[in-house]
Structure 1
Amino acid sequence: MLFLGNQPFLGLIASVAAIGLLIYVISTINWQALRRRPGTHHFFAGAVLIVTGLWLMHAGIKPGLHFHILGVTGMTLLMGWRLAILACGFILTGVYLLGKVSLEDLGVSLLFGCALPVFITWQFYLQVYRRMAHNPFVYILVAGFLNAGITQAAYALILSGWYVHMGLWDLNTVWEDLLRYLPLMMFPEGVVNGMFIAGMVSFHPRWLSTFDQDSYFGQS
C-alpha cells in the first residue's frame, strides 16, 4: 500500500486512472473461457484471501515505507495479468475495509502497488518463455522464484524513487527504512511464490494459465 501524503489532486488523478484500468481489464477478460472451467472461481477467491493476509502482515514504521510479501508473481502465473489485476482490486478493497489503507491512497496503490508488479512479473515471464528452455525446473526457479525476487526489488526501487521525487521522504530516510532491507525481502518473496508455483506444477498444472504442459512436459 502506497502513501500519497497531503496531495488530494494527485490522488484523484490516480483514482481515475485506476478505475479506467479496472474497466479495461474487466472488459477484456475472456469470461466465456472462465465459465467453461467451473473451478476457476475457487482459485481466484483463494488467491484473494491468501494474498490479503500476506498484505496485512507488513513490517515498517513510517507510512509507505514497509515491506510485505507481494504474492503477485504467483497470482499472475496462475491466472494471467488481467485476472491478477482484478484480484488485486478485491485485495485492496478488503485491506481498505480493514482500515489498513486510506480511500485517497487506493488509486495509487492499485497502479503502483498492484498493476506495476504484475506488469513486471508478466514481462519477465514472457522473456523466460521466449528465450529459455521449456523445462518445469526453469519455469519454477526462474519464472517463479527469481521472477518474484526481481519483482519485489523493482517494486521497492520504483517506490523509493516515487517517494523521493514527490518529496514525501528524503533519500536517507528511504535508504534507512526501506532499501537497505531489500535483500532480506527478495528471498522470502521468491520462496513463497516459488513454492506455490512448484506445488501447482506438481499437482494442478492444468490450472496454471501460463504453464503449457505440451511444451514443458513434451506431451503430444
Structure 2
Amino acid sequence: MANQMNLVAAPFANWLLLSTTLLSSLLILHAAARIPWFSLSQERLTGWFGASVFVLGFWQMRASIQPGLSFHLLGASALTMIAGRDKALLGLTAVLAADTVYGHAQWHSFGLAWLIVAFIPVTLTQYLFTWAQRALPANYFIYIFVNCFAASTLTMWLVGILTCSLLAASGAYSLDFLVSEQLPYYFLMGWPEGFSSGIYMSLLVIWRPQWVSTFDDAFYLTRKN
C-alpha cells in the first residue's frame, strides 16, 4: 500500500475549487487536442488503456485514516512512461472520474485533486524523462532507475507535500498533525511506489516494448555515447 490523498471539497474555498476546475478543464482539453487520435497504433492503445485500468485497480486498494486522508498507489509515473504525457493526463482523468463515481472522491474538488494527482506527477515525470535523455547516458538501467523508480518515488513525495500543505492552509488539519502523523507515510511509502513502477516497467520493456511509447530499443540498447 502506498499513499495519496483524495481531497474532499469542504475545507477549501469556493474560488479555489472553481478556479482549479477551470484550469484543469483547459489542461485536459489541451492534452486531448495534442493527441494524434487517427494515427494511434493498436499497440499504443493497448498499452494506454491497459495501464489506465491497472492504475484504477491500484487506486481501489486504499486505507482511509481520516476524512480527506487516504493512502493508495498512485501510478502516474508508470502511466506517463507507457502512454506519454498527454495520454497519461487523459488516462488519469478517467481514473479519477471512475474513482469519484465509486464514491471515493467528490466532483466539487475534482479539478483540485486532478492537478495534484495527475497534472503535477505527470509533468514532473515528463521533465525527468526529458532531462535524463539529454543529460545522462542512453542506458537501459538509467531508464528504469531514473525515469521509472526515481520519478515514481519523487512524485509520491511531492503529492504528499502538496496535499498536506493544502490541508494545513485550509485549516482542515493542523500542520503539526500532518507533519507528524501523515507526511512521514508519504516519504516511507514512496519506496513501494517506486519499486512497483520499476518492476512493472522492467517487465513491459522486456516482454511488451511495443506498448511503451517512451522506450526505444535503438536509443537505449544500441546508441553509443
Q: Deviations over 1:111-150 (max 9, x none)?
A: 1121111111111122222111111111111211111111
Return the letter of the residue paired with 1:32. Answer: F
Residue number in structure 2 paired with 1:45: 49
Specify the alignment match of 2:151 in structure 1: 147
Aligned partner letter, 1:49: V
| 1:8-56 deviation digits (Å, cap 9, x = unpaired) | 332222211111111111111122331xx12332222212211111112
Give the aligned residue type for 1:77.
M
Matching residue's letter, 1:56? Q
2-side partners of 1:69 and 1:80: how far apart? 19
Q: CA deviation at 1:219?
A: 6.6
1:190-209 matched pairs, under 5 angstroms: 190-209=194-213
In structure 2, give the amino acid aligned to 1:74: A
What CA distance in whole angstroms lies between the structure 2 residues aligned with 1:63 and 1:134?
45
CA contact (8 A) 1:15 1:106 kept: yes
Distance 1:206 1:219 in 2: 19
**1:91-102 alignment, distance < 5 Å:** 91-102=95-106
Structure 2 unpaired stretches of 5+? 1-5
| Structure 2 equivalent of residue 15 of structure 1 | 21
- For 2:79, the aligned partner's letter is M
Unaligned segments of structure 1, at least 5 residues = none
Q: Say which of 177, 186, 191 aligns to 2:181.
A: 177
Deviates more, 1:122-131 or 1:162-171: 162-171
- How far off is 1:207 after superposition? 2.5
Aligned pairs for 1:112-191 within 5 A: 112-191=116-195
TM-aligned CA deviation for residue 182 of structure 1: 2.3
Tell me, yes or no, if the aligned pair for 1:4 and 1:168 is still in contact at 8 Å.
no
The equivalent residue for 1:4 is 9
Greater mean deviation of Cα atoms: 199-208 or 39-48: 39-48
Q: For residue 220 of structure 2, what is the aligned residue in structure 1?
A: 216
Give the residue type in structure 2 aligned to 1:17.
L
Corresponding letter in the other structure for 2:8: F
| RMSD between aligned residues | 1.8
SS where residue 61 of structure 1 aligns? strand
Q: In the alignment, is residue 33 of structure 1 matched against residue 34 of structure 2?
A: no
With 14-23 and 168-177 compared, the bigger mean Cα shift is at: 168-177
Instruction: Give the structure 2 partner of residue 56 of structure 1.
Output: 60
Higher relative contact order (CA 8 A, sep 6+): 2
Aligned match for 2:81, one of 77, 97, 117: 77
Give the counterpart letter for 2:205 in structure 1: V
SS of the residue corresponding to residue 39 of structure 1 reads helix
Deviation at 1:194, TM superposition (A): 0.4
TM-score under structure 1 normalisation? 0.92
Q: Is the CA contact (8 Å cut-off) linking 2:44 and 2:210 kept in structure 1? A: no
Distance in 2 (CA, whole Å) between partners of 1:129 and 1:178 is 34
CA distance in structure 2 between the partners assigned to 1:208 and 1:44 by the alignment: 8
Q: How many residues align?
A: 218
8 Å contact kept, 2:62–2:70? yes
Contact map agreement 1:8 1:104 (CA 8 A) in 2: no
Q: TM-score, normalised by structure 2?
A: 0.90
